[in-house]
A = this chain, B = another copy of it.
Amino acid sequence: MSALSFKAQLPADVRAAIRNGEWPKPTAGLAPGYVQVNFAILPARDAGDFHRFCQKNPKPCPLIAISEIGDPRIPQLGADLDIRTDTPRYRVFRDGKVIDEPFDIREYWRDDLVTFAIGCSFTFEHSLLESGIGIRHIEQNRNVPMYRTNIATDPAGKFHGPMVVSMRPLKAADAIRAIQITSRFPGVHGAPVHIGDPALIGIKDIAKPDYGDAVDIRDDELPVFWACGVTPQSVIVEAKPEFCITHAPGHMLITDLRNSDLSVI
């Protein structure tokens, strides 16, 4: 099955193809118009703390859905959806260290695991592009630049650490429009957390992101910073839970939700 035929398909069809091993690659551009999510899978003993962490930090950790304990399904995101098979690639952690990057996680599944589905900026980038606002990292065919900041998250149990932000350089008028557009999407990080001088949020060198790739910032542009879904992953890695599974970067879970479903106004 080719990428083009995927693009004409509904999310359930794309998930089925991924489940069948036909798409072991990043999901950007698949099932356009539908929500793709970050996720983290944790044992029940750590899930309560992490759930509170998301509740207390909705900008970096906008919780879209949560599974029942031990249940690999998340029906509110797709009737057929199975978290063990429906993502192209995973990362399995023990004590905060990656031990495997498998294409499915059936062999790792346990009766005590809880899945947290967390909003992803793909959703608001779709709206920015539809509004004619260029996104530099897409134009330059790079990963979005991400930075650790000095903005503390609100800790919950073992989970704590600095907020990670993504950055998109925009002309002032586009930045203002982007603030309006992303304000409509609190479920996918919402409005920016900072605009302008990177040093004010503890970023020493904008040309050296902590994750992703640097992008060009032109003289007439402002860097605009959004809370980033890498924050929960960074926090989990630092908290070193006994066991954890996430998606591999860029290999997201595709849901039946439409991007517009996450718009509040």
Contact = CB atoms under 8 A, between A and B. Distances in A.
Contacts of A197: 172, 220
A180 B173 contact: no
- For the complex formed by this chain, how many copies does it contain in all? 2
A175 B200 CA distance: 14
Contacts of A175: 195
25 contacts: A172-B194, A172-B195, A172-B196, A172-B197, A172-B200, A173-B193, A173-B194, A176-B179, A176-B191, A176-B192, A176-B193, A176-B194, A179-B179, A179-B180, A180-B180, A180-B191, A183-B183, A195-B195, A195-B196, A195-B222, A196-B196, A196-B222, A197-B220, A200-B220, A265-B265
Q: How large is the interface on A (under 10, 10 to 19, 20 to 34, 35 or more residues)?
A: 10 to 19
Contacts of A179: 176, 179-180
Interface string A225-260: 000000000000000000000000000000000000
A48 to B, nearest CB: 30
Given A172-B196, A172-B197, 20 more contacts: A172-B195, A172-B200, A173-B194, A175-B195, A176-B179, A176-B191, A176-B192, A176-B193, A176-B194, A176-B195, A179-B180, A180-B180, A180-B183, A195-B195, A195-B196, A195-B222, A196-B196, A196-B222, A200-B220, A265-B265
A151 to B, nearest CB: 10
Contacts of A222: 195-196
Interface of A: 172-173, 175-176, 179-180, 183, 191-197, 200, 220, 222, 265
Q: Is chain A's interface secondary structure helix, strand, loop, or mixed overall?
A: mixed
Nearest to A179: B179
Contacts of A191: 176, 180
A41 to B, nearest CB: 33
A265 B263 CA distance: 14
Nearest to A180: B183
A200 B172 CA distance: 9
A196 to B, nearest CB: 5
A98 B200 CA distance: 47
Contacts of A193: 173, 176
Nearest to A195: B172
Contacts of A194: 172-173, 176
